[in-house]
Amino acid sequence: MNILILGGGGREHSLAWAVLQNPKCDRLIVAPGNAGIEGIADCADLDIEDGAAVCEFAVSNAVDFVIVGPEAPLAAGVADDLRAANVLVFGPSKAAARLESSKAFTKEVCDACGAPTAAWARFTDTGPAKDYVHAQGAPIVVKADGLAAGKGVIVAMNEADAQAAVDEMFGGAFGAAGAEVVIEEFMAGEEASFFVLCDGTAVLPIGTAQDHKRVGEGDTGLNTGGMGAYSPAPILNDSVADRALDEIVKPVVAEMARRGTPYQGVLYVGLMIENGRPRLVEFNVRFGDPECQVLMMRLGAQALDLMLACAEASLADARINWADDHALTVVMAAQGYPGAYSKGTPIGGLDELPEDSKHMVFHAGTAKRDDHLVATGGRVLNVTARGGSLAEARNRAYAMADRVDWPGGFFRRDIGWRALAPKL
Ligand code: AMP
Ligand code: GLY
């Protein structure tokens, strides 16, 4: 079959890598792709948030199946447009994508079906929001309702910071995303992510992961899109996963179906786990980046069969082959990230690295310039490895990262520390 993947980061490179291992895939196109993806698939220049353009491209290229990587096309309704054009698509409708694009909507759905999450309230004006913060006290969490590229959440450890966050959000710091503000109880515990495929009714867990959001070692410094990840997440053991499935995922999926907006796609369930009890922090309506890279490393070719079963609503009959393995990815970022960083710095050494079912360097922000590879983004490479233990996966990934010749880049040396001995 002919397959189109929308997106151009490390997540999409890993999706492309897994899909290509499946003999069902005849032709793979990725839009827009990047320099790494270009080496394994056709890349197309396409505005992936323009539903009409995506449909026209899919039809004129005889595409049988579209996999949507990032949230923006989903929130824009591109999956709805493809379904209307009779193109099979992996990814939720615009209405179901509200589970990521509106935090208040998600909290309301949780309340309607009894899914455990932080106590909350929603506000459209500064005064009542500030009164609520004062009445609740700190620590407390202030969130812009809409999509803010992961930046619209302030975990305030004192009341003054929380009040400042309220002012900042209603002051327009996050644009339209902050027109409504959600204020939540602070949840203590350890965070982990649970990935579940949903076909509207049936659900199938496909793995767990933990990522490192802070830029600095020891999980310090500024927040980023993620500096590394590993799978599985030891804290999210079978008993926690079962609880999360029974108490959060199944009730939410049933509630979405009841509302006439069934959820189809991968549900990224961000959990806070305390004493074996999972509570929902957030949903994302797509694979995480870089969590997808470690999941794809472990799933390999079957990822395509699972995504197809999801899109065809036959998940109840699908089976997943679990291997007793571990994967870890180290993000190499441009120096300065997540602040200002320079673009166009040259990257060498990748050609000498192993590329097999245990070793892959997924590209996130790269381009070819006069036959040289250069960095074009903040997060640039995802050095990913698999092993029989997390330590083995970690050692393989760092052995590769150390051989990448990129003076303009940096990486954390402690990815996986919570799950390994906290030293390197
Ligand atoms: P979100 O975008 O909703 O995932 O929030 C970003 C990050 O803020 C999460 O990954 C958590 O680390 C933190 N966070 C969000 N909500 C809460 C909460 N209610 N309690 C504690 N930490 C939170
Ligand atoms: N790594 C976090 C995310 O993709 O949202």
pLDDT digits 0-9 by tens, 286-300: 999 999 999 999 999
CA-nearest residue for atom 5, ligand 2, is: 288
**Alpha carbons 314 and 312: distance in angstroms, whole number:** 6
Closest atom of ligand 1 relative to the 143 alpha carbon? 3
Q: Given this model, what pLDDT does residue 174 score?
A: 80
Instruction: Say which residue the tokens 């990913």 belong to.
Output: 384
> Which residue out of 211, 214, 379, 382 has the highest number of ligand 2 atoms within 8 Å of its CB and is therefore the one to mutate?
211
Judge contact between 253 and 264, C-beta under 8 A.
no
> Class assignment of domain 2-90?
alpha beta
Q: Given this model, what pLDDT does residue 150 score?
A: 66
Q: Over pLDDT 90: what percentage of the chain? A: 90
Whether 81 lines ligand 2, by a CB cut-off of 6 Å, is no
CATH 3.30.470.20 residue ranges for the chain:
190-317
* Beta pairing partners, 5: 30, 67
CA distance to 27, 62, 101, 265, per residue, from 51 (Å): 22, 16, 18, 18
How many Cβ atoms from other residues are within 10 Å of residue 210's Cβ? 23
| Residue 278, helix vs strand vs coil | strand
Give phi and psi for 368, each to the nearest 5: -95, 130
Whether 284 lines ligand 2, by a CB cut-off of 6 Å, is yes
CATH 3.40.50.20 residue ranges for the chain:
2-90
CATH architecture of 190-317: 2-Layer Sandwich (3.30)
Which residues are within 8 A (CB) of 22 and not within 5 positions of it... i.e. 6 or more apart? 301, 302, 303, 304, 305
Closest atom of ligand 2 relative to the 289 alpha carbon? 4
Cα-Cα-Cα-Cα torsion 191, 311, 202, 281, nearest 10 degrees, comes to 20
Q: Given this model, what pLDDT does residue 172 score?
A: 79
Whether 291 lines ligand 2, by a CB cut-off of 6 Å, is yes
Q: Given this model, what pLDDT does residue 223 score?
A: 86
**Alpha carbons 92 and 333: distance in angstroms, whole number:** 30
- Tell me the two tokens of residue 156: 């305030």
Closest atom of ligand 1 relative to the 150 alpha carbon? 2
**Alpha carbons 45 and 40: distance in angstroms, whole number:** 16
**Alpha carbons 161 and 133: distance in angstroms, whole number:** 10
Whether 133 lines ligand 1, by a CB cut-off of 6 Å, is no
Whether 186 lines ligand 1, by a CB cut-off of 6 Å, is yes
Judge contact between 27 and 65, C-beta under 8 A.
no
Whether 211 lines ligand 2, by a CB cut-off of 6 Å, is yes
Q: Please give the chain's pLDDT, 424 residues, in tens.
A: 999 999 999 999 999 999 999 999 999 999 999 999 999 999 999 999 999 999 999 999 999 999 999 999 999 999 999 999 999 999 999 999 999 989 999 999 999 999 999 999 999 999 999 999 999 999 999 998 887 776 788 899 999 999 999 998 888 788 777 688 999 999 999 999 999 999 999 999 999 999 999 999 999 998 898 999 999 999 999 999 999 999 999 999 999 999 999 999 999 999 999 999 999 999 999 999 999 999 999 999 999 999 999 999 999 999 999 889 999 999 999 999 999 999 999 999 999 999 999 999 999 999 999 989 999 999 999 999 999 999 999 999 999 999 999 999 999 999 999 899 654 4
Whether 75 lines ligand 1, by a CB cut-off of 6 Å, is no
> Which residue out of 136, 147, 155, 274 has the highest number of ligand 1 atoms within 8 Å of its CB and is therefore the one to mutate?
155
Q: How far is the CA of 72 from the centre of ligand 2 (A)?
A: 13
- pLDDT tens by residue, 12-51: 999 999 999 999 999 999 999 999 999 999 999 999 999 9
CATH 3.30.1490.20 residue ranges for the chain:
125-179
- Tell me the two tokens of residue 141: 């969490």
Q: Given this model, what pLDDT does residue 97 score?
A: 97
Model-level pTM? 0.95
CA-nearest residue for atom 15, ligand 1, is: 281
Whether 142 lines ligand 1, by a CB cut-off of 6 Å, is no
Q: How far is the CA of 288 from the centre of ligand 2 (A)?
A: 4
CATH 3.90.600.10 residue ranges for the chain:
326-423
CA-nearest residue for atom 4, ligand 1, is: 282
Helix runs in 40-190, H state only? 51-60, 71-75, 78-84, 98-101, 103-113, 126-136, 159-170
Judge contact between 203 and 253, C-beta under 8 A.
yes
Judge contact between 15 and 292, C-beta under 8 A.
yes
Q: How far is the CA of 395 from the centre of ligand 1 (A)?
A: 30
> Class assignment of domain 326-423?
alpha beta
Proximal ligand: closest to the CA of 281: 1
Tell me yes or no: is domain 125-179 CATH 3.40.980.10. no
Where residue 123 falls (left for φ over 0; alpha for ψ -120 to 50; beta otherwise) is: beta
Whether 184 lines ligand 1, by a CB cut-off of 6 Å, is yes
Q: Is the dihedral of CA 77, 83, 84, 86 positive or negative?
A: positive
Proximal ligand: closest to the CA of 286: 2
Which burial class, exposed, middle or buried, applies to 382 when counting CB atoms under 10 A from its CB (0-12, 13-18, 19+)? buried
